[in-house]
Amino acid sequence: MKAKEIQELIDFISNSGLAEVKIETDEFKLSIKKNSEVAVARPADVSNPQAVAVPQPAASHSPENNVNHAPAAASFLEVKSPMIGTFYRSPNPDSDYFVNVGDVIQKGQTVCIIEAMKLFNEVESEVSGKIVKILVDDASPVEYDQPLFLVEPQN
């Protein structure tokens, strides 16, 4: 089950009035319990990325982030996490990263993987441009809607 399908299921349950749903197949078990006191997180609408002003970043000690620092007060787009999980820059520990600082990416290109509930979900960019900063370390936990990359739009 893909992350989008899980989110659609969560949205359906939220709107249906059901308090709890359990789904079990050969590949996975899924239990969703609605708590009326807690708001349900929804994935970012990455089709409408937000432009943000970013100040001059401080020097980074990690080599992959220490290249091509962003100019002051430039307008960048954020690629945000569509879910809670663990951020991975490559498909496996022996592979190259999907993207690095300075890489030019295209809309639809896989930029990272987010692991959630033992499912590895490829995150595709909804924007085209140049990666100017990677905001999350490899194998770090991420929150829903957390910025992962800063992208300089290409004309």
Residues 28 and 95 in one domain: no
Least confident of 12-16, 19-23, 47-51, 73-77: 47-51
Percent of the chain with pLDDT over 90: 48
Total structural domains in the chain? Answer: 2
Is residue 148 over pLDDT 60?
yes
Spatial distance between the Cα atoms of 89 and 100, rounded to a whole number of angstroms: 9
Judged against a pLDDT cut of 80, whether residue 123 lies above it is answered with yes
Structure tokens at 70: 């962003």
148 and 119 in one domain?
A: yes
Decide if 17 is inside a domain: yes
Residue 94 in any domain: the answer is yes
Kindly report, residue by residue over 62-114, the tens digit of the pLDDT. Answer: 444 444 444 444 689 999 999 999 999 999 999 999 999 999 999 999 999 99
Residues 62 and 133 in one domain: yes
CATH code of 69's domain: 2.40.50.100
Q: Tell me, yes or no, whether 97 lies in a domain.
A: yes
Does residue 145 sit within a domain? Answer: yes
What is the DSSP track for 108-126?
Answer: T-EEEEEEETTEEEEEEPS
Give pTM, 2 decimals: 0.55
Q: Let me know whether 21 and 68 are in one domain.
A: no
pLDDT for 8: 72
Residues 62 and 95 in one domain: yes
Sign of the C-alpha dihedral, residues 83, 85, 89, 94? Answer: negative
